[in-house]
Amino acid sequence: MTRISDSSARRVVILGTGGTIAGTSARAGDNVGYVAAQLQVDDLVAAIPGLASLSRRGVDLQVEQVAQVDSKDMSHAVWRRLTAAAERHLKDPQVCGVVVTHGTDTLEETGYLLQRVLSPLKPLVLTAAMRPADALQADGPQNLLDAVTVALQPQVQGVLAVLNGVVWAAAEVRKVHPYRLDAFSAGDAGPLAFIEEGQLRPLRPWPQGLPLGAAVLDPEIWPEVQLVSSHAGADGRIVDLLCEAGVQGLVVGCTGNGTVHHELFAALLRAQSRGVAVLRALRSGSGCILPGSAHDALPHAASLTPAQARVELLLRLLAARRR
Protein backbone atom coordinates (compact mmCIF):
# COMPACT_ATOMS: atom_id res chain seq x y z
CA MET A 1 0.00 0.00 0.00
CA THR A 2 3.04 2.32 -0.38
CA ARG A 3 2.99 5.05 -2.96
CA ILE A 4 6.11 6.25 -4.76
CA SER A 5 7.54 8.92 -2.45
CA ASP A 6 9.98 10.15 -5.10
CA SER A 7 8.27 11.02 -8.38
CA SER A 8 11.61 10.49 -10.14
CA ALA A 9 11.79 6.83 -9.08
CA ARG A 10 12.69 4.86 -12.19
CA ARG A 11 13.44 1.38 -10.87
CA VAL A 12 11.46 -1.63 -12.06
CA VAL A 13 12.02 -5.02 -10.48
CA ILE A 14 11.37 -8.08 -12.66
CA LEU A 15 10.59 -11.29 -10.75
CA GLY A 16 10.91 -14.54 -12.68
CA THR A 17 8.82 -17.63 -11.97
CA GLY A 18 9.32 -19.63 -15.20
CA GLY A 19 6.48 -20.46 -17.57
CA THR A 20 6.28 -20.62 -21.36
CA ILE A 21 7.84 -17.17 -21.62
CA ALA A 22 11.03 -18.86 -20.37
CA GLY A 23 10.47 -22.08 -22.34
CA THR A 24 12.51 -23.60 -25.16
CA SER A 25 11.91 -26.24 -27.79
CA ALA A 26 14.16 -28.95 -29.15
CA ARG A 27 12.73 -28.36 -32.63
CA ALA A 28 12.69 -24.98 -34.33
CA GLY A 29 9.21 -23.56 -34.72
CA ASP A 30 7.58 -26.01 -32.29
CA ASN A 31 5.03 -23.96 -30.34
CA VAL A 32 3.41 -26.97 -28.66
CA GLY A 33 6.10 -29.52 -27.77
CA TYR A 34 8.37 -27.13 -25.88
CA VAL A 35 9.54 -27.36 -22.27
CA ALA A 36 8.55 -24.45 -20.03
CA ALA A 37 10.79 -22.70 -17.49
CA GLN A 38 14.19 -23.29 -19.09
CA LEU A 39 15.66 -19.76 -19.27
CA GLN A 40 16.48 -17.50 -16.35
CA VAL A 41 14.71 -14.16 -16.12
CA ASP A 42 17.96 -12.24 -16.67
CA ASP A 43 18.37 -14.12 -19.99
CA LEU A 44 14.91 -12.96 -21.04
CA VAL A 45 15.69 -9.34 -20.14
CA ALA A 46 19.08 -9.38 -21.88
CA ALA A 47 17.50 -10.60 -25.13
CA ILE A 48 15.13 -7.61 -25.52
CA PRO A 49 16.74 -4.54 -27.16
CA GLY A 50 13.91 -2.29 -25.98
CA LEU A 51 14.76 -2.98 -22.35
CA ALA A 52 18.40 -2.09 -22.96
CA SER A 53 17.18 1.18 -24.48
CA LEU A 54 15.21 1.91 -21.30
CA SER A 55 18.33 1.33 -19.24
CA ARG A 56 20.24 3.86 -21.32
CA ARG A 57 17.46 6.37 -20.61
CA GLY A 58 17.92 6.07 -16.86
CA VAL A 59 15.56 3.23 -15.99
CA ASP A 60 17.09 0.87 -13.43
CA LEU A 61 16.01 -2.70 -14.18
CA GLN A 62 16.62 -5.27 -11.47
CA VAL A 63 15.90 -8.98 -11.85
CA GLU A 64 15.30 -11.70 -9.31
CA GLN A 65 14.56 -15.39 -9.92
CA VAL A 66 11.84 -16.32 -7.42
CA ALA A 67 11.04 -19.74 -8.90
CA GLN A 68 11.46 -21.74 -12.10
CA VAL A 69 8.30 -23.75 -12.74
CA ASP A 70 5.82 -24.62 -15.44
CA SER A 71 2.81 -22.74 -14.07
CA LYS A 72 0.63 -25.85 -14.25
CA ASP A 73 2.83 -26.95 -11.33
CA MET A 74 2.36 -23.72 -9.34
CA SER A 75 2.42 -24.37 -5.60
CA HIS A 76 1.39 -22.63 -2.40
CA ALA A 77 5.08 -22.39 -1.46
CA VAL A 78 5.90 -20.48 -4.66
CA TRP A 79 2.92 -18.19 -4.07
CA ARG A 80 4.26 -17.44 -0.60
CA ARG A 81 7.76 -16.60 -1.90
CA LEU A 82 6.42 -14.54 -4.80
CA THR A 83 4.08 -12.52 -2.60
CA ALA A 84 6.82 -11.80 -0.08
CA ALA A 85 9.26 -10.70 -2.81
CA ALA A 86 6.67 -8.49 -4.50
CA GLU A 87 5.68 -6.86 -1.22
CA ARG A 88 9.30 -6.21 -0.27
CA HIS A 89 10.10 -4.45 -3.53
CA LEU A 90 6.83 -2.51 -3.67
CA LYS A 91 7.66 -1.00 -0.26
CA ASP A 92 10.96 0.37 -1.62
CA PRO A 93 10.38 4.09 -2.39
CA GLN A 94 12.83 3.87 -5.30
CA VAL A 95 10.77 1.18 -7.02
CA CYS A 96 7.99 2.48 -9.25
CA GLY A 97 6.66 -0.94 -10.21
CA VAL A 98 7.21 -4.69 -10.21
CA VAL A 99 6.85 -7.12 -13.13
CA VAL A 100 6.34 -10.88 -12.74
CA THR A 101 7.07 -13.32 -15.57
CA HIS A 102 4.65 -16.21 -15.18
CA GLY A 103 3.12 -19.13 -17.04
CA THR A 104 -0.33 -18.71 -18.59
CA ASP A 105 -1.96 -21.85 -17.15
CA THR A 106 -2.44 -20.56 -13.60
CA LEU A 107 -1.95 -16.83 -14.16
CA GLU A 108 -5.58 -16.14 -13.25
CA GLU A 109 -5.07 -17.80 -9.87
CA THR A 110 -1.81 -16.03 -9.03
CA GLY A 111 -3.19 -12.70 -10.20
CA TYR A 112 -6.29 -13.03 -8.06
CA LEU A 113 -4.24 -14.01 -5.01
CA LEU A 114 -1.81 -11.09 -5.39
CA GLN A 115 -4.59 -8.53 -5.77
CA ARG A 116 -6.47 -9.80 -2.71
CA VAL A 117 -3.36 -10.10 -0.56
CA LEU A 118 -1.42 -6.98 -1.62
CA SER A 119 -3.82 -4.59 -3.45
CA PRO A 120 -0.80 -2.37 -4.18
CA LEU A 121 -0.89 1.35 -4.88
CA LYS A 122 1.91 0.79 -7.39
CA PRO A 123 1.70 -1.39 -10.52
CA LEU A 124 2.39 -5.09 -9.99
CA VAL A 125 2.30 -6.46 -13.52
CA LEU A 126 2.09 -10.12 -14.50
CA THR A 127 3.13 -11.05 -18.00
CA ALA A 128 3.47 -14.33 -19.86
CA ALA A 129 3.65 -15.87 -23.31
CA MET A 130 1.75 -18.35 -25.43
CA ARG A 131 4.88 -19.32 -27.39
CA PRO A 132 8.30 -20.36 -26.09
CA ALA A 133 11.24 -17.97 -26.05
CA ASP A 134 12.88 -19.57 -29.10
CA ALA A 135 9.74 -19.63 -31.28
CA LEU A 136 10.01 -18.10 -34.75
CA GLN A 137 7.54 -15.42 -33.67
CA ALA A 138 7.85 -15.42 -29.90
CA ASP A 139 5.34 -13.19 -28.11
CA GLY A 140 7.19 -13.06 -24.80
CA PRO A 141 9.65 -10.25 -25.62
CA GLN A 142 6.95 -7.77 -26.59
CA ASN A 143 4.80 -8.78 -23.64
CA LEU A 144 7.69 -8.26 -21.22
CA LEU A 145 8.58 -4.90 -22.76
CA ASP A 146 4.93 -3.82 -22.54
CA ALA A 147 4.75 -4.96 -18.91
CA VAL A 148 7.78 -2.85 -17.99
CA THR A 149 6.23 0.09 -19.84
CA VAL A 150 3.09 -0.22 -17.71
CA ALA A 151 5.13 -0.63 -14.51
CA LEU A 152 6.84 2.70 -15.20
CA GLN A 153 3.56 4.66 -15.26
CA PRO A 154 3.17 6.72 -12.05
CA GLN A 155 -0.65 6.86 -12.23
CA VAL A 156 -1.13 3.09 -12.46
CA GLN A 157 -1.89 0.85 -9.48
CA GLY A 158 -3.05 -2.65 -8.65
CA VAL A 159 -2.20 -6.11 -9.91
CA LEU A 160 -2.41 -6.23 -13.68
CA ALA A 161 -1.84 -8.75 -16.47
CA VAL A 162 -0.29 -7.56 -19.72
CA LEU A 163 -0.52 -9.84 -22.75
CA ASN A 164 -0.82 -9.29 -26.48
CA GLY A 165 -1.06 -5.50 -26.15
CA VAL A 166 -3.93 -5.63 -23.63
CA VAL A 167 -3.90 -4.70 -19.95
CA TRP A 168 -6.26 -6.71 -17.76
CA ALA A 169 -7.15 -6.53 -14.09
CA ALA A 170 -5.36 -9.64 -12.84
CA ALA A 171 -8.22 -10.45 -10.46
CA GLU A 172 -10.65 -10.56 -13.39
CA VAL A 173 -8.63 -12.20 -16.14
CA ARG A 174 -9.01 -15.83 -17.22
CA LYS A 175 -7.41 -17.98 -19.90
CA VAL A 176 -9.99 -18.83 -22.56
CA HIS A 177 -7.90 -20.42 -25.34
CA PRO A 178 -5.10 -23.00 -25.19
CA TYR A 179 -3.04 -21.78 -28.15
CA ARG A 180 -3.89 -18.38 -29.69
CA LEU A 181 -1.97 -15.25 -28.73
CA ASP A 182 -5.23 -13.58 -27.71
CA ALA A 183 -5.82 -16.29 -25.13
CA PHE A 184 -7.15 -14.13 -22.29
CA SER A 185 -10.40 -12.41 -21.44
CA ALA A 186 -12.08 -10.77 -18.47
CA GLY A 187 -15.61 -11.81 -19.30
CA ASP A 188 -18.11 -8.98 -19.12
CA ALA A 189 -15.62 -6.62 -17.46
CA GLY A 190 -13.34 -6.23 -20.49
CA PRO A 191 -9.81 -4.79 -20.62
CA LEU A 192 -8.44 -2.05 -18.41
CA ALA A 193 -6.24 -0.50 -21.10
CA PHE A 194 -4.40 -1.03 -24.36
CA ILE A 195 -0.72 -0.56 -25.13
CA GLU A 196 -0.32 1.05 -28.54
CA GLU A 197 3.19 1.71 -29.87
CA GLY A 198 4.56 1.98 -26.36
CA GLN A 199 1.77 4.26 -25.14
CA LEU A 200 -0.80 3.32 -22.52
CA ARG A 201 -4.47 4.06 -23.32
CA PRO A 202 -6.60 3.49 -20.19
CA LEU A 203 -10.26 2.49 -20.54
CA ARG A 204 -11.46 2.30 -16.93
CA PRO A 205 -10.17 2.78 -13.36
CA TRP A 206 -7.24 0.78 -12.00
CA PRO A 207 -7.90 -2.00 -9.46
CA GLN A 208 -8.39 -1.07 -5.83
CA GLY A 209 -9.12 -2.99 -2.66
CA LEU A 210 -8.24 -3.49 0.97
CA PRO A 211 -5.26 -5.84 1.23
CA LEU A 212 -5.25 -8.87 3.47
CA GLY A 213 -1.47 -8.50 3.86
CA ALA A 214 1.22 -11.03 2.99
CA ALA A 215 1.24 -12.36 6.56
CA VAL A 216 -2.01 -14.19 5.81
CA LEU A 217 0.08 -16.64 3.74
CA ASP A 218 2.59 -17.36 6.52
CA PRO A 219 1.31 -20.79 7.67
CA GLU A 220 3.33 -23.69 6.28
CA ILE A 221 0.19 -25.85 6.03
CA TRP A 222 -2.73 -24.30 4.20
CA PRO A 223 -6.37 -25.39 4.38
CA GLU A 224 -7.41 -28.22 2.07
CA VAL A 225 -9.74 -26.75 -0.56
CA GLN A 226 -10.84 -28.89 -3.50
CA LEU A 227 -12.81 -28.35 -6.71
CA VAL A 228 -15.82 -30.44 -7.72
CA SER A 229 -18.12 -29.97 -10.70
CA SER A 230 -21.83 -30.23 -11.32
CA HIS A 231 -22.66 -32.15 -14.50
CA ALA A 232 -25.09 -34.63 -15.97
CA GLY A 233 -25.10 -37.73 -13.79
CA ALA A 234 -23.36 -36.04 -10.88
CA ASP A 235 -23.87 -37.44 -7.41
CA GLY A 236 -22.55 -36.68 -3.95
CA ARG A 237 -20.06 -39.50 -3.52
CA ILE A 238 -16.99 -37.40 -4.27
CA VAL A 239 -18.11 -34.78 -1.73
CA ASP A 240 -18.67 -37.41 0.95
CA LEU A 241 -15.24 -38.93 0.28
CA LEU A 242 -13.53 -35.54 0.45
CA CYS A 243 -15.25 -34.78 3.73
CA GLU A 244 -14.08 -38.10 5.14
CA ALA A 245 -10.55 -37.18 4.05
CA GLY A 246 -10.73 -33.95 6.07
CA VAL A 247 -11.29 -31.33 3.36
CA GLN A 248 -11.96 -27.86 4.81
CA GLY A 249 -13.35 -26.14 1.74
CA LEU A 250 -15.15 -27.07 -1.48
CA VAL A 251 -15.74 -25.04 -4.63
CA VAL A 252 -18.36 -26.39 -7.00
CA GLY A 253 -18.30 -25.49 -10.69
CA CYS A 254 -21.95 -24.80 -11.48
CA THR A 255 -24.18 -24.99 -14.50
CA GLY A 256 -26.65 -22.26 -15.49
CA ASN A 257 -27.07 -19.44 -13.00
CA GLY A 258 -25.12 -21.23 -10.28
CA THR A 259 -27.25 -24.38 -10.37
CA VAL A 260 -26.14 -27.74 -9.01
CA HIS A 261 -27.33 -31.31 -9.70
CA HIS A 262 -29.79 -32.19 -6.93
CA GLU A 263 -27.77 -35.14 -5.61
CA LEU A 264 -24.56 -33.13 -5.51
CA PHE A 265 -26.43 -30.20 -3.96
CA ALA A 266 -27.67 -32.42 -1.12
CA ALA A 267 -24.13 -33.66 -0.46
CA LEU A 268 -22.78 -30.10 -0.42
CA LEU A 269 -25.45 -29.08 2.07
CA ARG A 270 -24.38 -31.99 4.27
CA ALA A 271 -20.77 -30.88 4.00
CA GLN A 272 -21.68 -27.30 4.88
CA SER A 273 -23.61 -28.49 7.93
CA ARG A 274 -20.46 -30.31 9.07
CA GLY A 275 -18.45 -27.08 8.96
CA VAL A 276 -16.92 -27.41 5.50
CA ALA A 277 -16.84 -24.05 3.68
CA VAL A 278 -18.64 -24.28 0.32
CA LEU A 279 -18.61 -21.78 -2.55
CA ARG A 280 -20.39 -21.93 -5.91
CA ALA A 281 -18.71 -20.67 -9.11
CA LEU A 282 -19.73 -20.69 -12.76
CA ARG A 283 -18.29 -23.29 -15.10
CA SER A 284 -18.66 -20.86 -18.02
CA GLY A 285 -16.02 -18.26 -18.87
CA SER A 286 -18.12 -15.17 -18.24
CA GLY A 287 -21.18 -13.91 -16.42
CA CYS A 288 -22.09 -13.53 -12.76
CA ILE A 289 -24.29 -15.67 -10.51
CA LEU A 290 -27.50 -13.83 -9.69
CA PRO A 291 -29.29 -14.50 -6.37
CA GLY A 292 -32.84 -15.73 -6.12
CA SER A 293 -32.75 -19.50 -6.54
CA ALA A 294 -33.02 -22.43 -4.14
CA HIS A 295 -29.27 -22.91 -4.53
CA ASP A 296 -28.67 -19.72 -2.55
CA ALA A 297 -28.40 -21.99 0.50
CA LEU A 298 -24.81 -22.32 -0.73
CA PRO A 299 -22.87 -19.01 -1.05
CA HIS A 300 -21.56 -18.03 -4.47
CA ALA A 301 -18.42 -16.41 -5.87
CA ALA A 302 -20.14 -13.94 -8.22
CA SER A 303 -18.10 -13.77 -11.46
CA LEU A 304 -15.01 -15.67 -10.30
CA THR A 305 -13.88 -18.74 -12.20
CA PRO A 306 -13.81 -21.96 -10.15
CA ALA A 307 -10.01 -21.71 -9.94
CA GLN A 308 -10.20 -18.13 -8.66
CA ALA A 309 -13.00 -19.06 -6.27
CA ARG A 310 -10.74 -21.73 -4.80
CA VAL A 311 -8.11 -19.05 -4.12
CA GLU A 312 -10.78 -16.84 -2.53
CA LEU A 313 -11.92 -19.66 -0.26
CA LEU A 314 -8.31 -20.46 0.67
CA LEU A 315 -7.73 -16.84 1.65
CA ARG A 316 -10.93 -16.68 3.69
CA LEU A 317 -9.93 -19.79 5.63
CA LEU A 318 -6.38 -18.52 6.14
CA ALA A 319 -7.68 -15.14 7.34
CA ALA A 320 -10.09 -16.86 9.73
CA ARG A 321 -7.17 -18.67 11.39
CA ARG A 322 -5.62 -15.31 12.33
CA ARG A 323 -8.68 -13.99 14.14
Residues of the chain below pLDDT 70:
1-9
Nearest to 277 by CA among 315, 304, 307, 303: 315
Q: What is the pLDDT of residue 3?
A: 34
Residue 104 appears among annotated catalytic residues: yes
pLDDT digits over 169-216, tens only?
Answer: 999 999 999 999 999 999 999 999 999 999 999 999 999 999 999 999
Q: What is the pLDDT of residue 220?
A: 92
pLDDT digits over 21-46, tens only?
Answer: 999 998 878 889 999 999 999 999 99
End-to-end Cα separation, the chain, in angstroms = 22
> Catalytic one among 20, 83, 101, 305?
20
User: Looking at domain 11-202, does it have CATH number 1.10.357.10?
Assistant: no
| Cα-to-chain-centroid distance, residue 97 | 17
Whether residue 105 is annotated as binding a ligand: the answer is yes
> Catalytic one among 17, 83, 101, 104?
104
Q: What is the number of helices (H) and of strands (E) in the chain?
A: 8, 13
DSSP one-letter code for 2: P
Find residue 102's DSSP bridge partners. none
| Cα-to-chain-centroid distance, residue 299 | 23
pLDDT digits over 261-277, tens only?
Answer: 999 999 999 999 999 99
Report the top-level CATH class of 220-321. Answer: alpha beta
Whether residue 55 is annotated as binding a ligand: the answer is no
Whether residue 104 is annotated as binding a ligand: the answer is yes
Find residue 65's DSSP bridge partners. 16
Residue 20 appears among annotated catalytic residues: yes
How is the chain split into domains, by residue range?
11-202, 220-321
